[in-house]
Structures are given as structure tokens and as C-alpha cells.
């Protein structure tokens, strides 16, 4: 494998904030080349608590801060390097790659990304990660080989295996906290959204809630985007390409 190893509804103010931010950001899509990456703003909710808002539309060709994770192929017991992770035609195109935004640590957040699988030689795994932390000490020997502290990272992963949705919590092993079977076409454009408030985690696809759990394991960490195959072989990993756009992360 490349990465895997052998609740409550959001409050109304949070939803209002998210919708308000999206209403602000969507008109900016047509002004892409005037926007730095990310666009970071401050917004105030009704209780006057400041919110940090990160927005990437990638139209200026910049993905500063997004750094691919070096994976681990358990079949070969060797590092698995991403095939490609780059901005193409104003989208962040990931081919057998998980990319981590390493410049900011998030606690409670609303995290949303537009994603479309565009090519898959095998069953694709695609989605977003949040509260991502360096690997468990159990993988110290692997991290020493790859040189990347986020190889086999710990954290939460809201992902689709084909068209089935899962929320994983990964430490030394990964546990599926919840699963769902929404009617989603991975080769269409989909919007994935996570609302994490304390131990409450809710996942939405195209505005529809599909997963809701309570889990206190991880309270903070980085965010990630990923597009990987469901398993690798001794000859390597198949190509799975997904395009990400209009990525929004709001520290709540």
C-alpha cells in the first residue's frame, strides 16, 4: 500500500460563516491572477471571534507551502515517491500523490476542496486529510529511510475508495470511524467538506452530510489533499490523477 497499513451537526454560526466566506471567495475565481496563494483573510463571526481563512484557487500557478509526502510501499519495503504533484491549467493536479500544507497548524476548522478524478489505472482513493501529524514512533525506522516525518502520517482522512466514503483515524494503524455509500461519481466534480469542532467531526459531499462522528484522538495538525491507488505492487504504484481546486480552510 502507498499510505494505509496492515456527532454532532455543525453549529449554525459555523455554517453561516462558511457560506459567507464562500460567497466572498467565489467571485474571486475570475480574478485569479491577481490573487496570491494562499489568500489569507480575517473574518469575524457574530461573537467577534477572529477567523483565519486560507484560500487557494491555483490559477496563478503557485502551490507554495503544499509539499508532497514521501509514501511507503509495503510490498517493496521502499519509499514510494509521488508520480506528479503540480499546478496544471489552474488546478492542483495530483498523480499518485498526497500533498501536505506545511505552513499552518489547524485545530477546529472548516476544510473544503473541489476535486475530480480524471485518470485511474486502478481503483482510486481520493480525498482530504486534516489534523495531520508526523508518523507514529512505531515507524521511526521507515521515516529514517524516507527522510520525511510525515511518511505514514497520523491524523484523520476523509476519503473515497471509488465511490464509497470513509473517515479514517490513523496512528500506528488506521481505523475506519465511519463509512457511507453516497451516490457520487468520482469522475465528476465533487466538493468535499469537513467540519471539525473539538471531538465532533462531520463530513459533507456536495453539501450533503454523509458522515458524523465523535472522536478525541487528534485535536490539531496540518491539512492534506491526496489521490492514490488502492494498493501497490512490487513493481510500484499505478497512476491515479485527481485535480483539486477552490480549496478553503477556515480556522474556527
Output the pTM of the full model. Answer: 0.84
Q: Please choose, from the candidates 248, 226, 218, the residue with its C-alpha nearest in 3D space to the C-alpha of residue 107.
A: 218
Superfamily of the domain at 12-251: Exo-inulinase; domain 1 (2.60.120.560)
166 contacts 179 by C-beta, under 8 angstroms: yes
Query: How high does pLDDT run on average in the chain?
Result: 85
Judged by DSSP in three states, 66 sits in strand
Confidence of residue 74 (pLDDT cuts 50, 70, 90): confident
192 contacts 116 by C-beta, under 8 angstroms: no
Q: What is the pLDDT of residues 114-126, one digit of tens each?
A: 999 999 988 999 9
Judged by DSSP in three states, 251 sits in strand
Q: What is the pLDDT of residues 210-222, one digit of tens each?
A: 999 999 999 999 9
C-alpha cell at 130: 486534516
Percent helix, strand and coil across the chain, each to the nearest 5:
15, 50, 35
Amino acid at each position: 500500500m502507498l499510505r494505509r497499513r496492515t456527532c454532532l451537526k455543525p453549529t449554525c454560526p459555523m455554517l453561516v460563516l462558511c457560506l459567507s466566506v464562500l460567497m466572498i471567495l467565489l467571485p474571486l475565481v475570475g480574478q485569479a491572477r491577481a490573487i496570491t496563494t494562499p489568500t489569507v483573510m480575517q473574518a469575524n463571526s457574530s461573537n467577534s471571534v477572529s477567523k483565519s481563512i486560507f484560500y487557494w484557487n491555483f490559477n496563478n500557478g503557485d502551490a507554495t507551502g503544499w509539499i508532497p509526502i514521501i509514501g511507503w510501499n509495503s510490498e517493496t519495503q521502499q519509499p514510494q515517491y509521488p508520480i506528479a504533484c503540480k499546478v496544471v491549467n489552474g488546478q492542483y493536479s495530483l498523480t499518485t500523490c498526497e500533498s501536505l500544507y506545511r505552513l499552518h497548524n489547524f485545530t477546529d476548522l472548516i476544510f473544503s476542496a473541489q476535486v475530480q478524478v480524471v485518470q485511474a489505472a486502478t481503483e482510486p482513493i481520493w480525498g482530504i486529510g486534516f489534523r495531520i501529524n508526523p508518523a507514529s514512533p512505531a515507524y521511526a525506522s521507515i521515516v529514517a529511510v524516507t527522510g520525511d516525518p510525515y511518511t505514514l502520517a497520523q491524523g484523520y482522512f476523509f476519503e473515497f475508495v471509488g465511490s464509497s466514503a470513509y473517515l479514517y483515524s490513523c496512528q500506528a494503524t488506521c481505523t475506519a470511524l465511519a463509512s457511507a455509500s453516497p451516490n457520487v461519481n468520482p469522475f465528476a466534480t465533487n466538493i468535499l467538506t469537513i467540519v471539525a469542532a473539538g471531538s465532533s467531526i462531520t463530513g459533507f459531499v456536495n453539501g450533503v452530510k454523509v458522515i458524523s462522528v465523535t472522536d478525541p484522538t487528534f485535536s490539531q495538525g496540518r491539512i492534506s489533499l491526496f489521490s492514490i491507488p488502492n494498493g501497490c505492487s512490487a513493481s510500484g504504484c499505478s497512476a491515479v490523477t485527481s485535480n483539486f481546486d477552490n480549496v478553503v480552510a477556515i480556522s474556527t
